[in-house]
Amino acid sequence: MPRFVKATTFAIAVSALAVAQSSAAPRTEPQPQVQLPEVHLDAIGLSPRPIEELTGTTIARHYALAWHDLALGFESDQADGLDEEFVGFARDRLMQRIDEQKQTGVHVRILDHGHHLRAVFYSMDGTAMQLADHVQLEIQTFDGNKLVDTQNSPHDYIVLMTPGADRWYVRDLQEVSAKPF
Amino acid sequence: MKNTPRCYFTLCKRVIGLALCFVLPGWASGAELHVPATVEAGRTVSIPVPGSGQATFYLVGPDVVVKRGVNLGSDLQIQSSDIRTAGFYRVIVCDSSSACSSATFEVKAAQPAHLSFFLHPSRVPVSFPDSIDATAFVFDQYYNLVLTPVAVDFRITPASGASFSRQVPTRNGVAWMRMGSTPHEGAVEVTAVSGKVEEARVIQQVAAEACEVRMKAVTSGKTVTLETDPVRDCSGNAVPDGTVVSFTKIDRAGKSTVDTPIKKDVARAQFSVEGPARVSVACGVVLGNEVDVNGKL
């Protein structure tokens, strides 16, 4: 029987996790330690379905991994890691973005100062969870090696996550104007 | 005080430093760009770029990166195909002296054009409260979630009985509702409608648990044949074929039970009896009537 929790805050405050821990699929080679952004998930008042404790922990962890992979992809122009945490529109759009970065020689470095994630909708059948993310990001845009722009500002995202076989995937990631959700 | 070369050097450093104080802000920020605060997805945008000469224009968005040369002092055209995805776009213009200006604008979803509609579960017993959940995500033609509240009509058409609807406004692009199943079995079509967009799903309502079970017995020698009346739920729907009915006989030989599936609304069983016997019938949690059979020794 799943364990439901009414008022919950989940946190992935541990900033260093082995990539191997993030996947149920065993990896044969030892994986390097990666720095994950801090993610605090607030699930207070979530409706219409309450969140299970394990689900909350899993979502916070995989959302942190998703942002790690996104930042890595934008900086290195490598889209290989995106399949691990993104599906659907989110994956397709990020793939296209990285492809266009490669074509133009532009890349982006993201310094992630932590996410405050709030679960706002969890469907009764457990197949979709919508979350609002408030994050402070420093975004540096480079043309080749030349820094052409720096932004250090708060950003807000509306996120749709759906469960897969062994994890929750980011299915939609849409930046929105700051507003109370 | 004599103007030694060292003093000249110090003076020069101060002058250069002072000059940089005026020059650097211009280098860092360049000329100001005026961009619209918000744009609808898939629309063309025109941004005036002040100054003269050549510059490099960058557009960095959720799924797009554009880099091209532009002439300062003219309008910069951003193609509709470059801003189809909702989100924030960064416009950067760097002139030949590497002075860069930047600005951000938001692209918002266009009108609703697609519904992603989930109906759960696929089968449900009749007259069961809060058993059906309908969730609709509203997207525009570019599959951006439409965050502006819009009304979603959930139109419910049962196999028999009157249709009805419930209107729910979206919140963050999602509308959902929960309802009980209707009293009659059969297919129920639920259609989510938002503006000109609609998506239909079908849910199968099946009979609920049996409401009452009654049987009759016909004896022939040492054999008793049992047959139930048509087994129905409390709304009068026939309980589905395959539902198990249990007949239990107690006589001198002891107790024995036969589990038999309903076939064409009724369940049948046959026992051999040793002397007087009592037979009972049950379906699920519902206990039916009992029949006394006076078998001969």
The predicted-structure confidence for A21-47, as pLDDT tens digits, reads as follows 444 444 444 455 678 999 999 998 898
Q: What structural domains does chain A harbor?
A: 35-176 (3.10.450.240)
Return the pLDDT at B31: 65
Q: Does pLDDT of A15 surpass 70?
A: no
Mean pLDDT, residues A4-22 taken together: 49
Q: With both helix axes pointing from N to C terminus, report the angle between A88-104 and A53-76 in degrees, rounded to the nearest 10.
A: 20
Q: For the beta carbon of residue B10, count every other beta carbon within 10 angstroms.
A: 11
The residue with tokens 């490099």 is B56
A-chain residues within 8 Å CB-CB of B87?
174-176
The alpha carbon of residue B192 is apart from the nearest alpha carbon of chain A, in Å, by: 16
Tell me which chain B residues have a C-beta less than 8 angstroms from the C-beta of A141: 58, 60, 90, 92
From first to last of its 297 residues, chain B has per-residue pLDDT tens of: 344 444 444 444 454 444 433 333 333 345 688 999 999 999 999 999 988 899 999 999 999 999 999 999 989 999 999 999 999 999 999 988 878 999 999 999 999 999 999 999 999 999 999 999 999 999 999 999 999 999 999 999 998 889 999 999 999 999 999 999 999 989 999 999 999 999 999 999 999 989 999 999 998 888 999 999 999 999 899 998 999 999 999 988 899 999 999 999 999 999 998 888 999 999 998 999 999 987 543
**What per-residue confidence (pLDDT) applies to A150?**
96
DSSP-assigned states of every residue in B75-103: EEEE-GGGS-S-EEEEEEEEETT--EEEE
Q: Are A149 and B102 in contact (CB under 8 A)?
A: yes
Q: Do B147 and A176 count as a contact with CB atoms less than 8 A apart?
A: yes
CA dihedral (B70, B71, B76, B79) in degrees, to 10, reads -40
Q: For tokens 């759906």, name the residue.
A: A162
In angstroms, the CA B169 to CA B151 distance is 4
CA distance A181 to A134: 11
State the Cα–Cα distance between residues A165 and A146, nearest whole angstrom.
42
Q: Which chain B residues are Cβ-neighbours of A181 within 8 angstroms?
A: 172
Positive or negative torsion for Cα B190, B192, B197, B200: negative
Report which of B267, B279, B111 is spatially closest to residue B195, judged by C-alpha positions.
Answer: B111
The closest CB to that of A48, out of B66, B100, B178, belongs to B178
Chain-chain contact of B118 with A105 (C-beta, under 8 angstroms): no
Backbone region of residue B275 per phi and psi (left: phi > 0; alpha: psi in -120 to 50; beta: other values):
left
Nearest to B133 among A101, A124, A151 (CB): A124
DSSP state at residue A86: B
Question: Which amino acid is present at B214?
Answer: R
The pLDDT of residue B57 is: 95
Bridge-partner residues for B54, per DSSP? B71
Chain B's closest residue to A92, CA to CA, is: B63
Looking at beta carbons, which residues of chain A come within 8 Å of B144? 174
Question: Distance (Å, rounded) from C-alpha A1 to C-alpha B126?
Answer: 26
Is the separation of the CB atoms in B157 and B184 below 8 Å?
Answer: no
Is residue A79 exposed (0-12), middle (13-18) or buried (19+ Cβ within 10 Å)?
A: buried
CB contact under 8 A, A97 and B90: no
Distance CA A111, CA A138 (A): 5
Do A81 and A91 form a contact (C-beta atoms < 8 A)?
no
Share of chain A above pLDDT 70, in %: 80
Quote the mean pLDDT of chain A: 85
According to DSSP, the β-strands at A16-18 and A33-35 are antiparallel
Interface contact B65-A100, CB threshold 8 A: yes
Q: Which of A1-15, A48-62, B26-40, B151-165 has the lowest mean pLDDT?
A: A1-15
Q: Helix, strand, or coil here: A135?
A: strand
Question: For residue B222, how many C-alpha atoms fall within 13 Å in the half-sphere facing its CB?
Answer: 8
The torsion angles phi and psi of B190, rounded to 5 degrees, stand at: -115, 125
Residue in B248, B244, B245 with CA at minimum distance from that of residue B278: B248
Contact A148 B92 (CB under 8 A): yes
Interchain contact, B176 vs A101, CB within 8 Å: no
pLDDT at residue number A145: 93
CA of B142: which chain A residue's CA is closest?
Answer: A89
The pLDDT of residue A66 is above 70: yes
Query: Do A143 and A106 meet the contact criterion of CB atoms below 8 Å apart?
Result: yes
In the predicted model, is pLDDT for residue A130 greater than 50? yes
Q: Residue length, chain A? A: 181
Contacts of A148 in chain B (CB under 8 A): 58, 92, 94, 100
Torsion B1-B5-B11-B14 (CA) sign: negative
Q: Which of A51, A64, A48, A53 is nearest to A15 (CA)?
A: A64
Identify the pLDDT of residue A21.
41
DSSP 3-state of A47: coil
Nearest residue in A to B116, CA atom: A128
Cα–Cα–Cα angle for B172, B178, B181, nearest 5°? 155
pLDDT at B250: 93
Q: What's the sign of the alpha-carbon dihedral B231, B237, B239, B241? A: positive
Q: What is the pTM of this model?
A: 0.79
CB contact under 8 A, A148 and B94: yes
| A95 burial type by CB count under 10 A (0-12 exposed, 13-18 middle, 19+ buried) | middle
Q: Which chain A residue lies closest to B59 (C-alpha atoms)?
A: A106
Cross-strand partners of B199: B192
Instruction: Return d(Cα B40, Cα B168) in angstroms, integer.
Output: 24
pLDDT at A120 over 50: yes
Nearest CB to A172; choose among B66, B88, B145: B145
CB A90 within 8 A of CB A69: no
Q: Which residues of chain B are within 8 Å of residue A109 when distances are taken between CB atoms? A: none
Q: Which of B89, B115, B172, B177 to mutate to test the interface with A (most CBs of A within 10 A)?
A: B172
Tokens 């540096």 correspond to A140
